[in-house]
Amino acid sequence: MNLVLLGPPGAGKGTQATKIAEKYNIPHISTGDIFRKNVKEGTPLGKKAQEYMSKGELVPDDLVIELVEDRLTEDDCKGGFLLDGFPRTVYQAEKFDVYLKEKNSAIDKVLDIDVEKDILIDRMIGRRVCKNCGATYHVKNMPPKKEGICDVCGGEIYQRADDTLETVSNRLQVYLEQTSPLIDYYEKAGNIAHINGAGALDKVFSEIVEVLGA
């Protein structure tokens, strides 16, 4: 099964991706992981990507596509894949569709986890993280037993710099501007399913399983 996962920051994509990959026995592939792996291993593609990343620039579309296509040649992708963070643009989606067609393959389903902006903002500005072990909490939905102290390791809990109202609002706006055309592209292709990501994690996952029909 070849899947693409879309959804704004704070939609719970990471949690759902882990559950999907486990249930359908396919690798969860994020572009961030691909970049880090290639840079760490010093591959030719990694060196190219590093040139842009070290300047704080976005890695160009064609290089991103090349990195993803290279990852999909690995053995664990023979039974399918779950792509997270790719494609990000219509150009990437078009090029990737051409690549898959050449391999006599296609994207089976695009899962768009949809959550209203107000809920996303509330989730993200209420998020707190342990400085020591990285455990996550929420001031309203999942507070620690003792304020400011991690339940897991006793470390200090803090709000990340990118979880402030201004930063979160900006990130969501950028996502919506970038992704709206991509959602339209997959609507026309007829292979997108919109998942209500506002509910409990298990409820969201049940809806995904229902859509995938297995």
Q: Please give the sequence-ordered ranges of beta strands (E in DSSP) within the chain, or none if there are none.
A: 2-6, 28-30, 81-84, 109-114, 127-130, 136-138, 157-158, 192-196
Q: How far apart are CA 177 and CA 29, in angstroms?
A: 23
Cβ neighbours of 135 (radius 10 Å): 15
Distance in angstroms (rounded) separating the CA atoms of residues 184 and 136: 33
Query: In angstroms, rounded to a whole number, what is the distance separating the alpha carbons of residues 181 and 41?
Result: 34
Distance (Å) of CA 138 to CA 24, 43, 128, 172: 30, 39, 6, 19
Active site residues: 13, 88, 127, 160, 171
DSSP three-state, residue 5: strand
How buried is residue 50: exposed, middle or buried, by Cβ count under 10 Å (0-12/13-18/19+)?
Answer: middle
In whole angstroms, what is the distance from residue 195 CA to residue 113 CA?
5
